[in-house]
């Protein structure tokens, strides 16, 4: 019964007739060019998978933001991960997306091919279990993600502490959405007039941080889900605000998101992590845009445990991933797109990540 109910619910948000009705409303409401940014790479892929970008009025440009945590993980952190993974008696664990992301010299796949113990896990708790069953190994989890993954990372640290595990640590690489929005909107190159906020991030953090951003930059923000009807509703509500000259933050994903968010999860995050300046790949350092472990839990910080903070890095001279992540360039404007850079031979993270804009353009043949 639950499966049938879920299938019916999904079908209702993918119903072509309902989506077309909203698309028609968007056409009727749009009177001039507008540039909207969907902050999440998952939204980018859904928009292209369902062809929504091809159904919108020509006046609406969808700009793809830095909403792919794999893509914005700094080269220094990736090189750090590669170095740690190659240390003796280390089992390095990560989500599968990270294995093909290029560092200065290779990726986690090539490191594994060279004999390192690199394992794909589906949760940081899997890494805790591996540490418990391999007491003679140092088990490291690569903590990639937006605020969405922060509670699970925090719980893994608390569980390791509870189990008195001496051989578990994480390499924190969590990045935060609101500071990135500030960085984009305050840039002299900014051309974004409205935002589609990431529903899964807001499910955890709420959207109480967004009204000051909307007010400061006079930019409407709509919290949006990932199904076709969610996305077109979010686009319509953003366009409606822009056309009427109104600035607000609206929630077009109320079945999942509340204003306050998951306060239990937020409390756990605050217990284990603290905001720090974070270097975003291709963008640069954004103040207080990441989470690192608080001093109380620094024992579980892999960077401190392995002393791997001073590593030289070298970016590709061809890849324009930074400009793509800032919404300044489209993937097909890169000279390497689809030729020297493909999902099988990526020069930059946006081509290999399942949430990357370059991968979306390549998969769905845009440009």
- pTM of the predicted model as reported, rounded to 2 decimal places: 0.91
- CB-count exposure of residue 153 (10 Å: 0-12, 13-18, 19+): buried
Q: 326 lies in a domain?
A: no
Q: Which residues pair with 173 in a beta bridge?
A: 144
How many independent structural domains does the chain possess? 2
Do residue 49 and residue 139 come from a single domain? no
CA dihedral sign of residues 292, 297, 298, 302: negative
Spatial distance between the Cα atoms of 14 and 20, rounded to a whole number of angstroms: 10
Claim to verify: residue 165 and residue 292 sit in the same structural domain: yes
Owning domain of residue 228: 2-69+183-251
What are phi and psi for residue 268, nearest 5 degrees? -65, -40
Residue 319 in domain = no
Name the 3-class secondary structure at 316: coil
Per-residue pLDDT of the chain (367 residues; tens, 9 = 90+): 455 577 888 888 889 999 999 999 999 999 999 999 998 889 999 999 999 999 999 999 999 888 788 888 988 899 999 999 999 999 999 999 898 888 888 899 999 999 999 999 999 999 999 999 999 999 999 999 999 999 999 999 999 999 999 999 999 999 999 999 999 999 998 999 999 999 999 999 999 999 999 999 999 999 999 999 999 999 999 999 999 999 999 999 999 999 999 999 999 999 999 999 999 887 889 999 999 999 999 999 999 999 866 566 766 778 888 888 888 889 999 999 999 999 888 888 888 887 889 989 999 988 7
If asked whether residues 273 and 151 sit together in one domain, one would say yes
Res 345: pLDDT: 84
- Token pair listed for 163: 């189990």
């Amino acid at each position: 019964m639950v499966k049938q109910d879920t299938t019916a619910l999904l079908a209702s948000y993918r119903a072509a007739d309902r989506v077309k009705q909203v698309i028609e409303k968007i056409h009727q409401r749009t009177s001039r060019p507008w540039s909207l940014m969907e902050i999440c790479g998952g939204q980018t892929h859904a928009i292209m998978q369902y062809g929504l970008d091809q159904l919108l009025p020509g006046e609406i440009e969808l700009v793809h933001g830095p909403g792919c945590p794999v893509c914005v993980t700094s080269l220094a952190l990736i090189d750090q991960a590669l170095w740690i993974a190659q240390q003796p008696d280390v089992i390095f664990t990560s989500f599968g997306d990270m294995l093909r992301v290029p560092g200065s010299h290779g990726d986690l796949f090539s490191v594994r091919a060279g004999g390192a113990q690199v394992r794909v896990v589906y949760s940081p708790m899997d890494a805790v279990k591996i540490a418990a069953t391999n007491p003679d190994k140092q088990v490291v989890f690569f903590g990639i993600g937006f605020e969405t993954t922060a509670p699970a990372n925090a719980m893994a640290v608390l569980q390791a502490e509870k189990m008195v595990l001496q051989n578990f640590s994480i390499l924190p690489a969590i990045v935060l959405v609101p500071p990135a929005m500030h960085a984009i909107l305050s840039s002299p190159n900014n051309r974004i007039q409205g935002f589609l906020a990431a529903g899964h991030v807001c499910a955890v953090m709420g959207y109480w941080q967004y009204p000051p951003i909307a007010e400061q930059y006079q930019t409407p923000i709509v919290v949006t889900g990932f199904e076709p009807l969610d996305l077109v509703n979010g686009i319509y509500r953003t366009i409606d605000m822009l056309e009427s000259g109104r600035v607000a933050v609206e929630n077009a994903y109320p079945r999942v998101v509340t204003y306050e968010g998951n306060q239990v999860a937020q409390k756990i995050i605050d217990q284990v992590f603290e905001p720090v300046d974070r270097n975003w790949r291709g963008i640069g350092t954004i103040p207080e845009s990441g989470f690192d472990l608080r001093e109380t839990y620094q024992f579980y910080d892999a960077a401190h445990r392995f002393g791997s903070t001073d590593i030289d890095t070298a970016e590709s001279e061809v890849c324009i991933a930074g400009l793509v992540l800032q919404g300044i360039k489209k993937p097909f404007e890169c000279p390497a797109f689809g030729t020297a850079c493909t999902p099988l031979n990526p020069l930059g993270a946006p081509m290999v990540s399942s949430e990357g804009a370059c991968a979306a353009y390549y998969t769905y043949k845009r440009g």
